[in-house]
Amino acid sequence: MALRNLRYEGDEILRKKSREVPLVDDRIRMLMDDMVETMYEFDGVGLAAPQVGILKRVVVIDVEDGRVYKMANPKIITESGEQSAQEGCLSVPEKKGVVTRPMKVIVEYINENNEAEKLEAEGLLARAICHEIDHLNGVLFTDRVIDDITEE
């Protein structure tokens, strides 16, 4: 595993739409592992491939629920409820803002073993999934802030 370089707000790659992953192979698994290591190094709870300069639909998430989620081609198929909370982002350091997200989502994705999975998530995990999928579509949390962005 290796640390990847983070991309920061202003980098044009963060505004591009990522490409589907046709197959989770050894290269994608290595990317996922590197992303997990990078996420931990920078104290994040999630990381999307564009944040490390790769335009592929890959995200990793760890909200400390005992599992690290490694997802290729994640797609939200249902969402319900609403939650508003402060968010930050490794690619937008020193800024936070209140964002409204679904309280509950069901997401389909391909796992690190190239198997289709469906996950029902709520609360922080649902928020993290939505945040990371936004990255895959070139959207930053700052685009969704409903309250003033605060500088840290």
Among 88, 47, 92, 87, CA closest to 68: 47
CA–CA separation, 34 and 69 (whole Å): 13
Q: Are 19 and 57 in contact (CB under 8 A)?
A: yes
d(CA 105, CA 42): 26
- 58 three-class SS: strand
Annotated active-site positions, please? Answer: 132
Rounded CA separation 42/94 (Å): 13
